[in-house]
Amino acid sequence: MNVGKCMSYLRTTCRLCKSTDMIKFLSLGKTPLANSYLKPEELKIPEPSYPLETYFCQDCGLVQLLDIIPGEVLFRNYLYISSTAPSYIEHFTKYAQDIVKRFDLTDESFVIEFGSNDGILLKPLKNLGIKTLGVDPAENIAKIAESDGIETFVDFFTEDNAKIILEKYGPADIITSANVFAHIDDLDDVLRGVSVLLKDDGIFVAEATYMVNMLEKKYFDLIYHEHVSYYCIRPLQRFFEKFDMEIFDVEDISTAGGSIRVYAKRKIGKHNITESVSNHLALENRLKMDQAVTYKNYGNEIEKCKNEIMKLLLQLKDDGKTIVGYGAAAKGNTLLNYFGIGTDILDYVVDIAEIKHGLFTPGKHIPILPTEKIDEDNPDYVLILAWNFADDIMKKHEQYRTNGGKFIIPLPEIDIK
């Protein structure tokens, strides 16, 4: 990715409520973009880096980044392909089956997904006979979706594009997005687009990492420039209100270390509001998710984790052990850069995505190799950077453990298996 000329901009107001009453609670330093993998010839060129500072809005409670990298830079040529993770394929196939059943979708129904990536959700929906349209700005990945028969509108989901889509395809029964809502700076534009396109009885579904889980399980490494918001239900509820919409259901789902799937509708829509909404609000109250002190304590805990993991890794290196990393994902790069783990500790990082092989991690410049390398080399330890796939990974590499190798799972507590 060419980010040499990329400029970030600094927001001064809360993304949802526009308040200026925000406090900084976790500073991860200046880091390169977590998905800006480097080619060998780029290693000597100065690497742009940007502040990674986390703020809490004392008015509506949204946790967010204010240093924003334009979406044009981050998402036009995207390297993250959803279908490379087997558990994601399973997750989205089940989601497709669930919404068809729950909302009585038929071959007359129309589902739009923005941030549709390679069609990981729309493919199973299409197989169930539903009319679908993907919306995604990444030209390279949209091509993959198109070649699999998933029609894709190649651009960002905005009010203007919603009008074009409405004209061409008509209104939608469901507009859905998974792990995209956290990526977008101008959410007002998105919600105006949803208002344009959604049928009166339509449903808007957004899947995002739940700030409660990030807090309880210490998943700080989901913080990187692409993720500009970290959600609780309360700030979202207030936000939807602005567009005459309301949240009517919240599901807890297991992706990305624990996410929420939020179902919203127009206020005039018929769906009943389920208890899960008030249950989540009560949980957030209990955990004081609306108070600054909660986040200040969180920042301190993350600092403690960093010290513990570094102590372990440096001890292993002192003992002459070999260590490699597993999963050159964006969140792994937050961890590597914030903790300061470089090639002095990890010989290399392996990753399942072929597209990353031969590249180097941003910031720490660790080479990325195919996963088979582990079975060839039998390093003493494999540090799992993609901890949310730890079970998949260990299952896939049983032979490595049989041969005496050990996995280190760094979060939420250090676990060696």
Binding-site ranges for Zn ion (CB under 5 A): 14, 16-17, 19, 57, 59-60, 62
Query: Distance (Å, rounded) from C-alpha 38 to C-alpha 238?
Result: 41
CB of 24 to Zn ion, least distance (A): 14
Gyration radius (Cα) of the chain, Å: 21
For residue 57, the minimal CB distance to Zn ion (Å) is 3
Give 228 or 382: the residue with its C-beta nearer to Zn ion. 228
Closest distance of CB 17 from Zn ion, Å: 3
Q: Which is nearer to Zn ion, 114 or 240 (CB)?
A: 240
> Which residues, other chains included, contact 159 with Cβ-Cβ below 8 Å and sequence gap of 6+?
189, 192, 193, 196
Is 332:350 a contact under the CB 8 Å cutoff? no
The answer to whether the CB of 86 falls within 8 A of the CB of 52 is no
Torsion of CA 268, 274, 277, 280, to 10 degrees: -170
Q: How far is the CB of 284 from Zn ion (least distance, A)?
A: 15
Structure tokens, 17 = 């409520």
Question: In this structure, what DSSP letter does residue 77 have?
Answer: S
Minimum CB separation from Zn ion for residue 292, in Å?
Answer: 13
Q: Please check whether residue 191 is in contact with residue 243, taking contact to mean a CB–CB distance below 8 angstroms.
A: yes
CB closer to Zn ion, 61 vs 137 = 61
- CA 145 – CA 129 distance, rounded (Å): 17
- Cα atoms in the Cβ-side hemisphere of radius 13 Å centred on 80: 20
CA-based nearest residue to 198, from 103, 96, 60, 71: 103
288 residue type, one letter: K
* H runs (alpha helix) in 128-256: 139-147, 159-169, 187-197, 211-216, 233-241
Q: Which of 231, 228, 175, 184 is nearest to 60 (CA)?
A: 231
User: Of the two residues 161 and 229, which places its CB atom closer to Zn ion in the complex?
Assistant: 229
Nearer to Zn ion, 63 or 335 (CB): 63
**Minimum distance of Zn ion from residue 180's CB (angstroms):** 20
In this complex, which beta carbon is closest to Zn ion, that of residue 62 or of residue 350?
62
* 353 alpha carbon, distance to own chain's centre: 17
Report the nearest approach of Zn ion to the CB of residue 184 (Å).
15
Cβ-based nearer residue to Zn ion, 14 or 345: 14
Instruction: Give the nearer residue to Zn ion in terms of CB position, either 238 or 296.
Output: 238
Of 178, 179, 128, 131, the closest CA to residue 151 belongs to 131
Cis-peptide, bond into residue 86, ω within 30° of zero: no
Least distance (Å) between residue 350 CB and Zn ion: 40
Instruction: Compute the least distance from the CB of residue 58 to Zn ion, in Å.
Output: 8
Q: 21: number of CA atoms within 13 Å, CB side?
A: 8
Task: Kindly tell me which of 59 and 173 has the beta carbon lying closer to Zn ion.
Answer: 59
